[in-house]
Amino acid sequence: MQVIEMKAKLEEKIKALEEEKRVLLEERDKLKEILELSEKAKELEIEVNKLKDEIKTLRDKIPKDLLKELSKTLSPLISETEKEELEEEKLL
């Protein structure tokens, strides 16, 4: 009788440990995904900021009169923020 009880307890313990292992593996995988997504988002933010800086630098090199003239021609392509910046420059 004791042997049967010991076997049953061990089998129960094994099932519990297997379930815990499964849960831990799932959590680990989800945490790895979150880390990868976080790193990708950070890299993209850096790239976007570099591009914004590059665009600003290039715009600063274009003569203001030419930029204003281009804004009339390319107005559908210029963002609202850029239009506001040009308007502010006109006020100065």
Half-sphere exposure (Cβ direction) of 23: Cα atoms closer than 13 Å? 6
Residue 92 has pLDDT above 50, yes or no: no
Instruction: Answer yes or no: are the C-beta atoms of 83 and 71 closer than 8 Å.
Output: yes
Tens digit of each residue's pLDDT (9 = 90 or more) over 38-80: 999 999 999 999 999 999 898 888 887 777 777 777 665 556 6
Q: Which amino acid type is present at position 5?
A: E
Residue with tokens 């003569």: 63
Instruction: Answer yes or no: are the C-beta atoms of 51 and 70 closer than 8 Å.
Output: no
Give the integer Cα–Cα distance in Å for 49 and 56: 11
